[in-house]
Amino acid sequence: MIIAIDGPAASGKGTLARRIAAHWVLPCLDTGLLYRAVARDVVAASFRPADPWAALAAARGLDLAGLSDPDLRTPAAGDLASIVARIPQVRAALLSYQRNFAAQPGGAVLDGRDIGTVVCPEADVKIYVTASAEVRADRRLRECLARGENVSFEHILADILRRDERDSSRDNAPMRPAHDADLLDTSDLDIEAAFDAAVGLIKRKIGQQGA
């Protein structure tokens, strides 16, 4: 069973993906970490994130053991990731790894922005998780404050809107719901309610396939 979880930044898709993977005892991949790690390595090599050749070299030489780096979870890393993610060569270099992960015996859960449309278009279940920009900015603000970072709501909201525009307008694999994805708006849901809703969607989809 392959479950694709897509959506914009701070929509809650990552938390949902991990909860869903634990519930069905499936491996889980946050594909955004791949792009964050590529961006990190490009900057560490003193190149610009938008440099296609430097980004491609970083993608091809990516050390997957480095995905546990806590710095990859910061908003700054996410912003840089959305820059390298626009580079078609980088997306192509990382595509086979993502598809191999999904092809594991028993299946997998993958979350990102193009899982249901490009990485796993034949996924058994596709959920597009969204929330209003203001709600997502508030969530990200609380995460940053918990880490002791001094940021403002206005700055985070502007960053989220900029990332939404960048991710949805890129020519290669733009962020958008798959035509057969179930939409899950978490604007008014806490994690437990969102998880319950997602489990209900998955069980319904599985039931339909088995009918």
Q: What is the mean pLDDT of each run of 10 residues along the chain (211 residues)?
A: 95 95 96 95 96 96 89 88 92 94 96 96 97 96 89 94 91 92 96 96 82 43
Helix (H, G, I), strand (E, B) or coil at 89: helix
Q: Which are the contacts of 200, defined by CB distance < 8 A and separation ≥ 6?
A: none
Neighbour tally for 167: CB within 10 Å: 20
Q: Which are the contacts of 165, defined by CB distance < 8 A and separation ≥ 6?
A: none
First-residue to last-residue Cα distance in the chain: 16
User: For residue 210, what pLDDT is reported?
Assistant: 54
Q: What is the pTM assigned to this prediction?
A: 0.90
Q: Which of 10, 170, 4 is nearest to 84 (CA)?
A: 170
User: For residue 153, what pLDDT is reported?
Assistant: 96
User: For residue 204, what pLDDT is reported?
Assistant: 93
